[in-house]
Amino acid sequence: MSPTETRTGYGPIAKSLHWLIFALLVAQYAFGWTMPDVHRDTKPDGLIAWHLAIGATIIGAVLLRLVWRLMRPVPPDVASLPKWQAWLAHATHWLLYIGLVVLLGLGWFNASARGFPVRFLGLIPLPPIAPVGSSVGLRAGDVHIFLSWCLLALIGLHVLAALYHRVILRDKVLQRMLPGGGA
C-alpha cells in the first residue's frame, strides 16, 4: 500500500494520523469534562495532568498531519461533487486545522501561565510559552474553553457531512478516509 494519496482515497499515513487525532480528541474531551475546575491553587495532577499530556501529544500529531497534508494534498477525486460542497469541505477541513492549532496553543499558553509542566507523550517537556502569572495567559484558559465548544461543533458538522455522503448521497467520500477503504 502506498503512503501517498490516490485518486480514490487517502494513504495509510494520512488515515492513521486522522484516526489517531480523533482518538486523542475523544480522550481529551473526556478528561476535559471530568477534570476538576482549574483555580489559583490547583495542582496539575490526576486528570489535569492527563489533559495536559494528551494536549501536548495532539500538538505533535496535528503538526505531523499538517506537514503531511501540505506535502500530499487531498485526493483530487472531488470532480463529482458540486463546487459548493467541494468548497465547503475544503473550508471545513482548514477550519478544523486552524481551530485545533489555536485551541492547543491557548491551552499551552494557559498551562505555562499557571506554571504547569506540559510534556509531549507525558514525558518530553515542552518549553513554557508564557511567563508564570501572565494575566493574558491566565485569561487564555477561558478562551480555550469557549473554543473547545466551537471545535466540537465543527467536528460534529464534519461527522454529519461524512454521514450525509454515506447515507443520503451513497457516494464514496467517507470511504476515502476509512481504514482499508478508498486507497
**pTM for the structure as a whole:** 0.88
pLDDT band at 1, cuts 50/70/90? very low
Asked if 71 and 115 count as a contact pair (C-beta separation under 8 A), the reply is: no
For the stretch 74-121, pLDDT in tens is 766 555 778 888 888 889 999 999 999 999 999 999 999 999 999 988
Other beta carbons within 10 Å of 182: 21
Pairing between β-strand 118-120 and β-strand 124-126 as defined by DSSP bridges: antiparallel
